[in-house]
């Protein structure tokens, strides 16, 4: 039974209360996520010095490396949904249990990496890229497969910390990992400080080392006396099939949506833009590098609002869950509009300053893509924030179906049509992508606004613990 308490209009609730809660939760996530985006960005800046083919290859290979892991990452990422709602229900002892089950699920990542290693040449051969680009893509991709296991572990632990009101932990770990990655890039790509010059392979190995270190640091904090005292992180290490199945039941649609979303962008980059040649692909990767720096704070809002919505739902306060979502939406839309204006006005200068591309067309086409990105930024903020809120409520199956339908009815067909049949090239492909983002965002907003997520109970039939009204109503959202 849900305990509904409409408290969003109580006297202690000011216009800034929601902003403060969103900031406290999402701020550290933004900083941590930005550090990861900066790591990817610097990878491309350094690899750019190896030539246009290397720059084209690293973007395509890195996104496919991430794509192949997203189904599992989406599943273990739903550890945060259960932790947030358990915390809201006053059942802190269950939070550590769900984190451990997420770690056990993460072991599957090793089998995924082993499965994809031998078929990688076939996958990249299908893309039809220039031979040197394909060769470099394969080198980078196969090395990055070795990071799948720590990446899954980091995802499970990071969502635990975020949902349990300690987002600063993964933030500091991510910042440290990014700093290490930059240093290792400098050493391994170019052969500095006595290290071998490995080129694009060095960028991949630097990222792998950074991911392993981040896992070890997060795991050490997870087992620390401080965390154990609150969440019994050392006491509940037993494999619990029932809880694993709960995570899979809610997480599988979320993982499916995450996989579809990222896979669609991978198909878009590799099979649509990539077939246009090395120069359009390089321009796409340059523009995407700046877009990623812009998107990451919005995705951090996605994670933050997911945890906040989950906590308020755990307390039975749906009105406040809704209010916090709309506050996050206003913050996200404001930020994305500002970034869009910066890209449109200064995009060419930013590309020339950071990448100094060899080809003039990379500069001009990259700026055109950034101008187009400025147009759909507002809608992207809606899709990202609403997606986080719906995931926090456990409304993952609907999002999976929406992503599938809009991707293969709108995204890929329009991008292909505009790029090839209308001879729009990379810009035409991105016009199709923009249409997809607009449609997706409108449906996401409609779903959340309909409030059908009120009826979802992620613990239904699981025996996952009883809700205690006192604990639910008294525990503060952010400590």
Instruction: Tell me the per-residue pLDDT of 407-439, one tens digit each, with 9 for 90 and over.
Output: 999 999 999 999 998 988 888 999 999 999 999
Predicted pLDDT at 470: 34
Residue 466's pLDDT band (boundaries 50, 70, 90)? very low
Query: Which of 213 and 462 is assigned the larger pLDDT?
Result: 213
Residue 6 pLDDT more than 70?
no
pLDDT in tens, 277-317: 878 888 887 888 788 777 778 888 888 888 889 888 988 89
Q: Which of 11-15, 54-58, 450-454 has the highest mean pLDDT?
A: 450-454
Contact 359, 52 (CB under 8 A): yes
What pLDDT, on a 0 to 100 scale, did the predictor assign at position 2?
A: 40
Say what the pLDDT of residue 250 is. 84
pLDDT score recorded for residue 358: 67
State percent of the chain over pLDDT 70.
90
Average of per-residue pLDDT across 361-378: 86
Stronger pLDDT, 133 or 29, i.e. the higher one? 133
Residue pLDDT, tens place only, 54-108: 877 887 788 787 777 888 888 888 898 889 888 888 888 889 999 999 999 999 9
State mean pLDDT over 231-239: 88
Confidence of residue 19 (pLDDT cuts 50, 70, 90): confident
Residue environment code for 195-223, b if the CB has 16+ CB neighbours within 10 A, otherwise e = beebbbbbbbbbbbbbbbbbbebbbebbe
In this prediction the pTM is: 0.74
Q: How confident is the model at residue 45 (pLDDT cuts 50, 70, 90)?
A: confident
Mean pLDDT, residues 150-166: 91
Give the pLDDT mean for 456-474.
51
């Amino acid at each position: 039974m849900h305990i509904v308490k409409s408290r969003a209009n109580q006297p202690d609730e000011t216009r800034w209360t929601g902003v403060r809660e969103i900031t406290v939760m999402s701020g550290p996530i933004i900083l941590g996520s930005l550090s990861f985006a900066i790591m990817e960005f610097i990878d491309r800046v350094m690899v750019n010095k190896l030539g246009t083919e290397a720059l084209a290859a690293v973007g395509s290979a890195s996104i496919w490396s991430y794509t192949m892991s997203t189904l599992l990452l989406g599943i273990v990422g739903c550890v945060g949904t259960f932790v947030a709602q358990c915390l809201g229900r006053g059942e802190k002892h269950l939070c550590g249990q769900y984190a451990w089950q997420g770690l056990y699920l993460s072991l599957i990542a090793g089998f995924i990496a082993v499965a994809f290693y031998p078929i990688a040449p076939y996958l990249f051969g299908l893309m039809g890229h220039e031979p040197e680009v394909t060769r470099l893509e394969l080198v980078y991709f196969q090395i990055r497969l070795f990071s799948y296991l720590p990446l899954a572990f980091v995802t499970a632990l990071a969502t635990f910390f975020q949902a349990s009101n300690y987002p600063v932990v993964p933030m500091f770990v991510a910042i440290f990992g990014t700093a290490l990655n930059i240093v290792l890039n400098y050493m391994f790509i170019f052969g500095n400080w006595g290290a071998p010059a490995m080129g694009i392979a060095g960028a991949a190995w630097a990222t792998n080392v950074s991911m392993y270190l981040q896992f070890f640091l997060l795991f050490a904090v997870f087992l620390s006396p401080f965390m154990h005292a609150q969440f019994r992180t050392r006491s509940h290490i037993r494999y619990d099939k029932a809880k694993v199945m709960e995570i899979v039941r809610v997480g599988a649609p979320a993982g499916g949506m995450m996989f579809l979303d990222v896979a669609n962008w991978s198909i878009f980059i590799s099979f649509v833009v990539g077939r246009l040649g090395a120069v359009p692909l390089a321009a796409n990767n340059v523009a995407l590098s700046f877009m990623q720096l812009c998107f990451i704070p919005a995705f951090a809002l996605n994670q933050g609002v997911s945890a906040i919505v989950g906590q308020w739902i755990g307390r039975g306060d749906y009105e406040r869950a809704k209010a916090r979502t709309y506050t996050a939406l206003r913050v996200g839309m404001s930020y994305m509009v500002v970034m869009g204006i910066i890209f449109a006005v200064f995009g060419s200068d930013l590309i020339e300053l950071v990448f100094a591309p060899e080809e003039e067309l990379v500069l001009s086409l990259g700026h055109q893509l950034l101008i187009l990105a400025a147009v759909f930024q507002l809608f992207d903020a809606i899709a990202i924030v609403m997606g986080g809120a719906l995931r926090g409520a456990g409304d993952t199956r609907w999002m999976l179906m929406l992503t599938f339908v809009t991707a293969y009815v709108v995204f890929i067909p329009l991008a292909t049509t505009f790029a090839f049949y209308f001879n729009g090239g990379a810009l035409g492909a991105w016009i199709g992508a923009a249409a997809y983002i607009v449609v997706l965002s409108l449906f996401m907003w409609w779903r959340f606004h309909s409030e059908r997520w009120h009826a979802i109970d992620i613990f239904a039939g699981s025996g996952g613990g009883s809700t205690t009204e006192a604990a639910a109503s008294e525990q503060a959202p952010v400590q």
